[in-house]
Chain A
Amino acid sequence: MNLSFTLAMARREGRSSWRRIGFYMATVTLGVGALVAINSFRADVTAAIHREARTLLGSDLRLSSRRPMPETVQAILDSVAATGSEVSYVTSFSSMALTPSTGRTRLVNVRGLEGGFPFYGEVETDPAGSWSELQSGRRALVDRSVLVYLGARVGDELRIGQARFTIAGTIVRMPGEADISSTIRPRVLIPAEFLAETELLGFGSLVRYRAYLRLADPEEADAFAERHETLLEEAEVGATTVAQRAEDYARSLDIFARFLGLVGLAALLLGGLGVASAVHVFVKRKLETVAVLRCLGATQRTVFAVYLLQAGLMGLGGAAAGVVLGLAVQVLLPGILDDFLPVAVSPTLHPMVALAGLGVGVWVAVIFGLLPLLSVRDVTPLEALRRPFDGPASRWDLRRLAVMGALVATVVALSIAQAPHPWAGVAFAAAAAVTAAILGGMAWALTRATRRFFPRRAPYVVRQGVANLFRPHNQTVAVTLTVGFGVFVLGSMHIVQRNLLERLSLDARPDRPNLVVFDIQQDQRDGVESLIREHGFSAAELTPIVPARVAALNGRPVDELLEDTTGPRPARWALRREYRHTYRDTLVGSEELLAGEWWYEPAAPGALPRISVEEGLAEELGVGLGDAITWDVQGVLIETEITSLRQVSWARFETNFFVVFEPGVLDAAPTVYVTLTRVPGEEERALLQRDLVEAYPNVSALDLSLVQQTLETLIGSIALAIRFMALFSIASGMIVLVGAVATSRYQRVRESVLLKTLGAQARQVRQVLATEYVALGSLAGLTGCILAAVAGWALVTFLFELSFRLPLLQLAGIGLAAAVTTVLVGLVAGRDALRRAPLAVLREIGE
């Protein structure tokens, strides 16, 4: 290879190559921009979380129990409080809140506060300052969503159980809690001294008792937790340190950001495809030059290096611009993802992220450009004398295979690096490849079909426009691929979103219950049932719920299982969680028996009580048919045998259970009941809830339309973030489109001049152009829509296990929007070609 020649040639040729394919490097810019933005943001979030770790917890240490703090633990707390540390108590539970002025109720998360929590960070309220006055009487601070739903105003009375409070203001921000959490579990803060007045704590409802500690020496927190580990564990009190809390938060946000990063990666890969397509066309145009250079004595390697160097330099330019773009977008992301952020994120420059983005961009540009560039090597010098007889032969030699291999490896490596989990990365890479292959294949097939079945009697302008899709150097497949991909991402997301929301839209389904009434005590069963009947509605049969914990598996106590570190171990969460069991004599609609037998036959005498376990849980616990589980049902140990395994479709809005007992076993256990009912009108729903709460303050009712709203908000926020990242892909598609228009500009100009000399009017020339882009746009839109429908169906059916409905109109709308955009972009980009003076045009054509 001749370096000085390579450099000189690359520099000189670069002037015109830049015009030809430099533009496409903007797709690399977009891809790199997306990645740098999201990865910088990830780093920002991690930094912010660790910086404000104490704010996240609001203290140095948090202890959490399901019972009032046991005496042993309380003794420790009292002793640290006596030695310069501070302790604050927060007791929380779910309950109905009622505003008498409007008669409306809402299920809320009540928190009784005592002491100086939060020790770190400020509670923001509206009006400002109402936080400091909270403890000065029967006051409550509530989330805005609570006010809105109750139709209440600041100053109104709020009833929780038997206690009455004045709403003193709304919570704007709690340190360490993301906005989205107030949507999921709206908060009501009250002074702890009035907790007892509610008379709700004793009723066996789920209450969390938390103690927040500010230690005299904050660094002591970990040592403190370790010192009392055994004692806390015996007392069933969990301890969370600042580091753990930060870790948890950082991990879940990282997973989310990485998923968004995958959407950004898609933009970069599309950019790669854009580059490959541009280089492909570019190389075809350069074949003669290459042959001449070879004639003049340039070796294969030298010529190849000239063009590779150009691709690399342009990739560098594109990637560098991408880094700048990424840094700009990084500043926007905290605003877009605000709902999910528990702490304020301040964007800073992360040199390694920027550098990685630059490197990845150059590499992608080069590796995607390499495959089409390889055909430069196949050009023989003889072609300078005479056009090749068989066209440039692209042989599948070892080099091509190696480049293909490197390309696949690149995609997989990038995906794995970006994905939250290696397998997710592999799956993403596979999905990307399949999507690209299907899009490309469909584009190819559809163009073939168009050509084949196109009406010969169509007007001339239409035939010419369609024929243009097959002109030499056309980029029909590339445009279809990139624009189609944008449609695909937006379309499939929309389909999934619509299906999820439709599933949740209870009002549209007369057969679905929309109100869950729960925490009904044994002695309230008849009362609740008749109250619902009095309101003119029918309640489903009450479902009994018995709380229990795992005590032993096949005779081995849980403690022993947890300590055992050898071999496969049951999942920790599955061993330690509190279960809510039910018992009944039949399967319900959302269940399917997978293995074993249901207890239609009476039990054999002397056999263990029979249970049916959900398959996923059985797997987590490492148990199967015939295994024994001993349950701790509020102090009483009950040994049971697994006689069947069930599959449960959780996505259905029903009361589902991990474990179902055969009837008769749990009759004596402390039981609460839940029931479902359907109350059509919103007013009636509100009235029923109010009467329920007034008669039975401990009973809670969950209006499922609220759950629906919550999920809508949640899904909406997530969708917004994904859409934002998908914008990069769509912009990539537009760039490829504009580039394709520019590439064919000379041919187009020549044609239009020719057409004009043959007597065509400017209008007809424009019509030819319009037809071409209408065809191209519909092709891309249609391909994307079909693929989106298939992907949406697969996601809805298999991932979310819902019945599928195709929102045809909206999907068509997305496809149409893409097609219209394509036509507009094409016409605007091609506009100047039509206005050129013929002579100037003829001069340029040779170039």
Chain B
Amino acid sequence: MIIAEHLEQTYMSGGHPLTVLSDINLTVEPQGFLAIVGPSGSGKTTLLGLLAGLDRPTAGRVVLDGEDLGPLTEDARARLRGEKVGFVFQTFQLIPTLTALENVLVPIELRPRAADRVENPEQRGRELLTRVGLGERTHHYPAQLSGGEQQRVALARAFANNPKVLFADEPTGNLDGDTGHAVIDLLVALNTEARTTLVLVTHDQELAQRAHQVVRLSGGKLVT
């Protein structure tokens, strides 16, 4: 499902090149579950961004569901994300001006052609919200929800389009222990139901245990 070959990322920082990732090679099978672990600043988020096509690597290539991201234009990658990729962020990243339901609907409505969209988006949105336990909160704004609730809306949004791959960057980083566990349980369950490939960045050793495959980053290099 995901192939990364000789990935390297170098940023210009204060006029000096700073190599954040070098020579990363990895493969994730369809319906696989990859956990990326490592200390803060080791390049986890950078790697996730490259795998999801949010950024271009300085060298190397990423193939996502059989498509080489390298030659794709910015817009083509956006469309690819809309079709095949879901995201869960550490800071939830719900759109503050939209209600819970409207947030969930965004990926569906972004589909360029009506034919590609699910039959009844509203109904699908409500079902997803009900699935994450927020069936009663569809018209609440993010500010009116607690952190755990917001992250559950984000989960519903991530699965709205039936993505092939779900990327999650420390989804429990901003939640307390119990809430975090509940969110992770929900995430794994949804993932299994939808047969989604999951790439997850985490600090949580216990969570990493549940992955099929764990890579450890240190100073921008894979160790294992």
B102 touches A297 (CB 8 A): no
B96, B112, B142: the one within 8 Å of A2 (CB): B112
A295 touches B87 (CB 8 A): yes
B110 touches A847 (CB 8 A): no
Q: Who on chain A is nearest to B73 by CB?
A: A299
Q: How far is the CB of A747 from chain B (nearest CB, A)?
A: 15
B13, B54, B85, B109: the one within 8 Å of A382 (CB): B54
Interface string of A714-752 (1 = CB under 8 A from B): 000000000000000000000000000000000000000
Q: Which residues of A contact B157 (CB under 8 A)?
A: 296
A288, A385, A843: the one within 8 Å of B143 (CB): A843
B97 touches A380 (CB 8 A): no
Q: Is B144 at the interface (CB under 8 A from chain A)?
A: yes
A297 touches B96 (CB 8 A): no
How far does the alpha carbon of A787 sit from the alpha carbon of B102 in the complex, in Å? Answer: 50
Q: Which residues of A contact B85 (CB under 8 A)?
A: 297
Q: Is A293 at the interface (CB under 8 A from chain B)?
A: yes
5 closest Cβ pairs, A-B complex: A297-B82, A846-B143, A16-B97, A297-B81, A381-B54
- One of A5-13, A343-351, A590-598 at the interface: A5-13
A4, A5, A12, A846: the one within 8 Å of B98 (CB): A12
| Residues 65 to 120 of chain B near chain A (Cβ within 8 Å) | 74-75, 78-83, 85, 87, 89, 93, 95-98, 102, 106-107, 109-112, 114
Majority SS at the chain B contact face:
helix
Q: Is A241 at the interface (CB under 8 A from chain B)?
A: no
Q: Who on chain A is nearest to B158 by CB?
A: A296
Q: How far is the CB of B119 from chain A (nearest CB, A)?
A: 15
How far does the alpha carbon of A15 sit from the alpha carbon of B99 in the complex, in Å? Answer: 11
Q: Is B48 at the interface (CB under 8 A from chain A)?
A: yes
Q: Is B138 at the interface (CB under 8 A from chain A)?
A: no
Residues of B within 8 A of A (CB): 11, 13, 45, 48-49, 52, 54-55, 74-75, 78-83, 85, 87, 89, 93, 95-98, 102, 106-107, 109-112, 114, 141-144, 157, 169
Q: Which residues of B contact A289 (CB under 8 A)?
A: 95-97
Q: How far is the CB of B9 from chain A (nearest CB, A)?
A: 11
B48 touches A847 (CB 8 A): no
- Given A2-B112, A17-B97, A385-B89: A293 and B169 interface contact (C-beta under 8 Å): no
B96 touches A294 (CB 8 A): no
Q: Which residues of A contact B144 (CB under 8 A)?
A: 843
How far does the alpha carbon of A78 sit from the alpha carbon of B106 in the complex, in Å? Answer: 89
A385 touches B45 (CB 8 A): yes
Q: How far is the CB of B69 from chain A (nearest CB, A)?
A: 13
B79 touches A5 (CB 8 A): no
B114 touches A4 (CB 8 A): yes
Q: How far is the CB of A304 from chain B (nearest CB, A)?
A: 12
B48 touches A385 (CB 8 A): yes
Q: Which residues of B contact A407 (CB under 8 A)?
A: none
How far does the alpha carbon of A844 sit from the alpha carbon of B144 in the complex, in Å? Answer: 8
Q: Which residues of B contact A291 (CB under 8 A)?
A: 93
- Given A299-B75, A385-B45: A847 and B89 interface contact (C-beta under 8 Å): no
Q: A295-B81, A382-B55 are in contact. List 13 more A-B contacts (CB 8 A).
A: A2-B110, A2-B111, A16-B96, A17-B97, A296-B87, A296-B107, A297-B83, A299-B78, A300-B75, A385-B89, A846-B142, A847-B96, A847-B141
Q: Which residues of B contact A228 (CB under 8 A)?
A: none
Interface string of A2-36 (1 = CB under 8 A from B): 10110011001101110000000000000000000
Q: Which residues of B contact A5 (CB under 8 A)?
A: 109-110
Q: Which residues of A contact B107 (CB under 8 A)?
A: 296-297
Q: Which residues of A contact B87 (CB under 8 A)?
A: 295-296, 384
B79 touches A299 (CB 8 A): yes
How far does the alpha carbon of A155 sit from the alpha carbon of B95 in the complex, in Å? Answer: 83
A295, A301, A845: the one within 8 Å of B54 (CB): A295
B110 touches A12 (CB 8 A): no
Q: Is A302 at the interface (CB under 8 A from chain B)?
A: yes
Q: Which residues of A contact B78 (CB under 8 A)?
A: 294, 297-300, 381
B106 touches A293 (CB 8 A): yes
- Given A385-B48, A385-B54, A847-B143: A12 and B75 interface contact (C-beta under 8 Å): no
Q: Who on chain B is nearest to A302 by CB?
A: B110
Interface string of A437-452 (1 = CB under 8 A from B): 0000000000000000
Q: Which residues of A contact B96 (CB under 8 A)?
A: 16, 289, 846-847
Q: Who on chain A is nearest to B108 by CB?
A: A5
A17, A389, A843: the one within 8 Å of B13 (CB): A389
Q: Is A292 at the interface (CB under 8 A from chain B)?
A: yes
How far does the alpha carbon of A386 sit from the alpha carbon of B157 in the complex, in Å? Answer: 19
A293 touches B95 (CB 8 A): yes
Q: Which residues of B contact A13 (CB under 8 A)?
A: 95, 97-98
Majority SS at the chain A contact face:
helix
Q: Who on chain B is nearest to A387 by CB?
A: B91
How far does the alpha carbon of A289 sit from the alpha carbon of B106 in the complex, in Å? Answer: 12
Q: Who on chain B is nearest to A1 by CB?
A: B112
Q: Who on chain A is nearest to B169 by CB?
A: A385
20 CB < 8 A contacts A-B = A9-B109, A13-B95, A16-B96, A289-B96, A293-B110, A295-B93, A297-B80, A298-B82, A299-B79, A300-B75, A300-B78, A384-B93, A385-B45, A385-B49, A385-B54, A385-B169, A386-B49, A389-B13, A846-B96, A847-B97
Q: Who on chain A is nearest to B96 by CB?
A: A847
Q: Which residues of A contact B109 (CB under 8 A)?
A: 2, 4-5, 8-9
How far does the alpha carbon of A450 sit from the alpha carbon of B45 in the complex, in Å? Answer: 41
Interface string of A384-415 (1 = CB under 8 A from B): 11100100000000000000000000000000
Q: How far is the CB of A389 from chain B (nearest CB, A)?
A: 7
Q: Who on chain A is nearest to B114 by CB?
A: A4
Q: Which residues of A contact B48 (CB under 8 A)?
A: 385
A12 touches B114 (CB 8 A): no
- The residue among B11, B81, B83, B109 with the most chain A CB atoms within 10 A of its own CB is B109
Q: Who on chain B is nearest to A845 by CB?
A: B143
Q: Who on chain A is nearest to B113 by CB?
A: A2
A296 touches B75 (CB 8 A): no
Q: Which residues of A contact B112 (CB under 8 A)?
A: 2
B89 touches A12 (CB 8 A): no
How far does the alpha carbon of A846 sit from the alpha carbon of B93 in the complex, in Å? Answer: 12
How far does the alpha carbon of A4 sit from the alpha carbon of B52 in the complex, in Å? Answer: 26
Q: Who on chain A is nearest to B150 by CB?
A: A846
How far does the alpha carbon of A385 sit from the alpha carbon of B91 in the complex, in Å? Answer: 8
How far does the alpha carbon of A13 sit from the alpha carbon of B85 in the complex, in Å? Answer: 24
Q: Who on chain A is nearest to B160 by CB?
A: A296
How far does the alpha carbon of A326 sit from the alpha carbon of B139 in the complex, in Å? Answer: 40
Q: Which residues of B contact A17 (CB under 8 A)?
A: 97
Q: Which residues of A contact B80 (CB under 8 A)?
A: 297
Q: Who on chain B is nearest to A16 by CB?
A: B97
Q: How far is the CB of A228 from chain B (nearest CB, A)?
A: 77
| Residues 791 to 847 of chain A near chain B (Cβ within 8 Å) | 843-847
